[in-house]
Each structure stands twice: as structure tokens, then as C-alpha cells.
Amino acid sequence: IIILGIESSCDDTSAAVIKDGVLLSNVTASQAVHEAYGGVVPELASRAHQQNIVPVVSEALKRAGVSKDELSAVAFTRGPGLMGSLLVGVSFAKGFARALGIPMVEVNHLQGHVLAHFIKEPDEVHASPKFPFLCLLVSGGNSQIIRVNAYNDMEVLGQTIDDAAGEAIDKCSKVMGLGYPGGPIIDKLARQGNPKAYTFSKPHIPGYAYSFSGLKTSFLYSLRDWMKDDPDFIEHHKVDLAASLEHTIVDILMEKLRKAVKDTGINEVAVAGGVSANNGLRNAFREHAAKYGWNIYIPKFGYTTDNAAMIAMTGYFKYQDKDFCTIDKPAYSRVSIK
Ligand code: ATP
Ligand code: FE
């Protein structure tokens, strides 16, 4: 079984090839065009996808050493994401599959992030989470705790009621005048700072829900106050601010996750999505594994942010279930994982 995966939900155009569950290639073109705007500009993203999609797919097939006639199916991200971006990948995937006379498999982008844990590289000894497991999905658009019963059976236990964790980091980084996306920049600065230097307000909401908009406001107002005395406050305390912000976010995320582990009795715990690239969060996972005996699963850096390998992997599972889709299925911008 050879699956071509295509991802175009936000600002990365990506294609990957998976053969019998093993990843042969994963090619991603990122879009630098958005940096100047401090965020993704949907119309520009869509146009860049149009330019990138053909060369990215060709390169993925080339690196995999697979010709298009050998493909079993084309898997593509149907949603959620930016409509204009999704349309490029969805249209390409449908046209390509139809021209080759092979099935198409639609993939939920969030399910893809979770199943990134099953991506296997050639000759890799890979420990994947065992079902049922809990997955903390933290990305630019989502922060949720998911109970994963099977590849195709996921249940959201709780999610953010406002901003996502990645969104909060990106916004705070913008307030500090740092670049976009803020996640990797904050991560780098945080490694040199004191995580206990400042405290910011944490939400008090019930259940497994998250909230990050209050933190963003608390961060902004604190900065304003401090800058009254020292206009260059940010410059002087950049690393401590980054470390304290990261520490607060990681604390909020882990507190609810601990609760979910305790309540469900499931101690197979994974993390996924762009924010799982964060070193502070990764360290917190390792500490929890040591302290509470969790079996933890942290994805490789390359499979944290958007990539087509996770889409091809999900497509591979769905292909085995003969879970194909018809050409009339439109892209969707918003939908839950289940
Ligand atoms: P979604 O998957 O919810 O649709 P998305 O696809 O835009 O959203 P991802 O690509 O999974 O999100 O993740 C992007 C987010 O991850 C951004 O907010 C970015 O700042 C954040 N991020 C990336 N690397 C790091 C890091 N090292 N530390 C913290 N955050 C990071
Ligand atoms: Fe994503």
C-alpha cells in the first residue's frame, strides 16, 4: 500500500509518501511571506499553496523513489483550517486521484496531529502509544485533551473556551515586538531566563477546559505597568519574560492533564501539535513521567507542526478500513475531531 498525503490547511504546503506504514518522504514548503505581517494572511497563503503544491508533490514522489502510477490512494487534509488554503490541497488531491483512477481519503487535520505518533521511519524502532491513551493536542488553533480509544475513535474530554496555547504564545510574542511565529522564539529565549521571575494570572475554570485569553491580557497589562518605570523593560528582561510566560502556559496545560490522567486512570500520555515542539513542555512531560509513572510519547520535532507525513499516516489507517471519500466532499474550515 502506497499513500500520498497532502497537507495545506494553514501556511505550510506539504506532501509525504508512506509505503506499508513506513515513511519514505516528507517535503514541506513554508511560507516566509507572512512574517512581515505578524500572522498568516489567508489570501497570500492560498496563493503560495498554488505555487508550491506541484513542486512539493513532485519532490515528495522523487525522494520516495515512487512513481505516481504506483500510488494506492491520495490522502488529503479536508479541514479544519483556512478555507482558501484547504481548497488548494483538496482540489489538487481530488484531481490527482481522479486522473490516476485511485481512491481518495479525507483526513481531519487534528486527527492527523494525534496520529503523528504512529509515523515510522525506515529502520526505526518506534514505540507508539497503546490504546486507549490521552493526547494533549496543543497547536495554533487548538488546545484540547483527547481520549484516543482507537485510530478512528477519539473523544475530546476538554478544550479551550477561547484562545489556543499557540495563539496565546504568538500574541504575547507580538506584544513583545518579537517575530512571527512567536513559539520558537519564546522557546529559545525562555531557555536562558528565570521561569519564576514573574507571575501572570491563571484561569480558574472547571473540568478539563482551558482558557488563555486572560493570560494574554494579564501579560499585556503587566508589561504596560512595568514600562511606565522603564520604557526599555522588555529589552532588559526579555529572557525572564519569555521563561515566565512559557512556565505559566506549561503549568496551565499540565494541571488539567494531571486531572485527566487521575480521573481516567489512563497513564499512556502523548502530546501533539505545534506547541509540543516547546522544550519547556517536553521537559514537563519528562518530569511527569518520572514523578507519576506516566508512559509518555513526544513526537519528533518535524512532526509537531503541520506536515503531510501525519496526513499520509492517517490516510494509511483509513485506507485499510476502506474509508474512502467521494469527489463531492467539500473542504471544511471548522469541525471537531469527532
Ligand atoms: P491547528 O493544527 O490547530 O489547525 P496550526 O496548524 O496553525 O493549528 P500547528 O502548525 O500545529 O498549528 O502549530 C503552530 C503553533 O505552534 C504556533 O502557534 C507556533 O507558535 C507554535 N509553536 C511552534 N514551535 C513552538 C515552540 N518551540 N514552542 C512553543 N510553541 C511553538
Ligand atoms: Fe496544525
**pLDDT number for residue 182:** 95
Question: Does 311 score more than 70 pLDDT?
Answer: yes
User: Going by C-beta distance under 8 Å and a sequence separation of 6 or more, which residues neighbour residue 189?
Assistant: 178, 238, 239, 241, 242, 243
User: Where does residue 44 fall: left (phi above 0), alpha (psi -120 to 50 degrees), or beta otherwise?
Assistant: alpha
**pLDDT number for residue 137:** 98
Q: How far is ligand 2, taken at its centre, from the CA of residue 29, in Å?
A: 15
90 is in an annotated binding site: no
DSSP class of residue 170 equals H
Question: Does 48 score more than 80 pLDDT?
Answer: yes
Distance of alpha carbon 148 from alpha carbon 119, whole angstroms: 16
Task: Identify the residue whose C-alpha is closest to ligand 1 atom 16.
Answer: 274
Average pLDDT, the chain: 96
Question: Does 337 score more than 80 pLDDT?
Answer: no
Q: How far is ligand 2, taken at its centre, from the CA of residue 228, in Å?
A: 38
Task: Identify the residue whose C-alpha is closest to ligand 1 atom 10.
Answer: 305
The tally of CA atoms less than 13 A away on the side-chain side of residue 138 is: 29
The b-or-e profile of 82-112 (16+ CB within 10 A means b, else e) is bbbbbbbbbebbbebbeebebbbbbbbbbbb
Query: Could you tell me the sign of the dihedral formed by the alpha carbons of 172, 10, 48, 3, in that order?
Result: positive
Question: Does 338 score more than 70 pLDDT?
Answer: no
Contact yes or no for 227/236 (Cβ under 8 A) = no
**pLDDT number for residue 38:** 80
**pLDDT number for residue 236:** 96
Contact yes or no for 15/76 (Cβ under 8 A) = no
Cell of 37: 505581517
Q: In 3-state terms, what secondary structure has residue 39?
A: coil
**Per-residue confidence at 290, pLDDT binned at 50, 70, 90?**
very high
Question: Does 169 score more than 80 pLDDT?
Answer: yes
Q: How far is ligand 2, taken at its centre, from the CA of residue 304, in Å?
A: 8
C-beta neighbour count of 334 within 10 angstroms: 9
* Residues β-bridged to residue 153: 150
Least confident of 87-96, 116-125, 153-162: 116-125
Single pTM value for the model: 0.95
81 is in an annotated binding site: no
126 is in an annotated binding site: no
Q: Tens of pLDDT along 10-32?
A: 999 999 999 999 999 999 999 88
Q: Tens of pLDDT along 215-254?
A: 999 999 999 999 999 999 999 999 999 999 999 999 999 9
Please tell me the number of the ligand nearest to residue 137's CA: 1
**pLDDT number for residue 125:** 81
Question: Does 34 score more than 90 pLDDT?
Answer: no
- Burial class of residue 152 in the structure, from the number of CB atoms within 10 Å of its CB (0-12 exposed, 13-18 middle, 19+ buried): middle
**pLDDT number for residue 195:** 98
Question: Does 306 score more than 70 pLDDT?
Answer: yes
The backbone torsions φ and ψ at residue 196, rounded to the nearest 5 degrees and listed phi first, read -105, 10
Q: In 3-state terms, what secondary structure has residue 127?
A: coil
In the chain, which residue ranges form alpha helices assigned H by DSSP?
42-64, 83-100, 109-115, 165-175, 182-190, 213-229, 233-264, 279-292, 309-320
Mutate to test the pocket of ligand 1, among 41, 142, 275 (most ligand atoms within 8 A of CB): 275
Question: Does 82 score more than 90 pLDDT?
Answer: yes
ipTM > 0.95 for the complex: yes
Least confident of 61-65, 125-129, 157-161: 125-129
